Amino acid sequence: MKMRKVCTAPMVVMLFLISLALLAPPAAADWHGGRALVLYSERSYWPPSDGWVQHNYKDYKIWNNFSAEFADQGWSVDFAKHVDAANLSNYDALFVLTPNEDIPDDEAQAIINWVLDGGQLVITQDWKGKYANEITEPFGIKFIRGIKGCTFSYINEFGDHPVTAGLTEVNGTVDGITARKINVSGSSKEIGWFSNCIGKHCLLAVNDTAGEGVVVAIGDEWMWSCWRRCCRFNQADNEKLLDNILAYFRQTCSVPEFTPLRLTIPVLGLLGMVLLLLRRA
């Protein structure tokens, strides 16, 4: 009995197209086009009347340059005094600038869970407290104490990281010592230091693998203020630090991860099917 010859060309073409579909990267499901949320309090001074961060980053004019920079970098920005899981799910980045009192447990846990699920957090803490640790310690970042023996503080040494690209100095001084040092553990790493003749102190740290998210921690927030003639935002590389963070967040959140495994499986499958069809031909 004569066997029918199988026409392999159309089947090979079909398998090739299926493999291309498998290789195509998935859409970034959690990317909202560059939406940031900044927490604020009603007052501009301690203690806040509603909200648990230090300043009114929404309405107080010394933060106008900071707020406007988001749009300049292609981001939209909203403000809120409190957060929950439903609210956070609408944003790509959260800025928590210097908590000034104990963070409500439900809000701290909502932020932690959001980061673990892919959220990108910038959090600062100055010399007035260590409240930020309620959020950062699960990610191996701990704000410790101020820098003794210094009349001012700034970041003048940087590690190799997209957040620090092109930076030479970040200056956050306001009145005397305002910064708070950072200790890191686990997958977190130091990327910026205040270095002088008496020592080297970490003031900038990052965890790139905070679950599915990212945490950037800074030992002060005043470098993004603009107070009368003393406009810190425009000094040194303060503005560039914010720009770098937003660019890094856009890159890590909007670009799907590609691994060699995603290439290997379809290619091996295609080769196997081709060999099988050729044997039957």
What is the per-residue pLDDT for 125?
92
pLDDT band, very low/low/confident/very high, at 15 (cuts 50, 70, 90): low
What is the per-residue pLDDT for 262?
47
Q: What is the pLDDT of residues 240-257, one digit of tens each?
A: 999 999 999 999 875 444
Q: In degrees to the nearest 10, what's the CA dihedral of 170, 176, 178, 181? A: 80
Between CA 127 and CA 144 the distance in angstroms is 9
Q: May I ask the CATH architecture of the domain 35-254?
A: 3-Layer(aba) Sandwich (3.40)
The more confident residue out of 142 and 126 is: 142
Q: What is the pLDDT of residues 113-127, one digit of tens each?
A: 999 999 999 999 987
Give the mean pLDDT of the chain: 83
Comparing 27-31, 97-101, 138-142, 217-221, the range with the smallest average pLDDT is: 27-31
Between CA 43 and CA 161 the distance in angstroms is 35
Q: What is the CA radius of gyration of the chain?
A: 24
Q: Is the pLDDT of residue 270 over 70?
A: no
Q: What is the pTM of this model?
A: 0.79
Between CA 127 and CA 227 the distance in angstroms is 19
Give me the mean pLDDT over the 84-102 stretch.
95
What is the number of other CB atoms lying within 10 angstroms of the CB of residue 265?
Answer: 13
Between CA 100 and CA 103 the distance in angstroms is 8
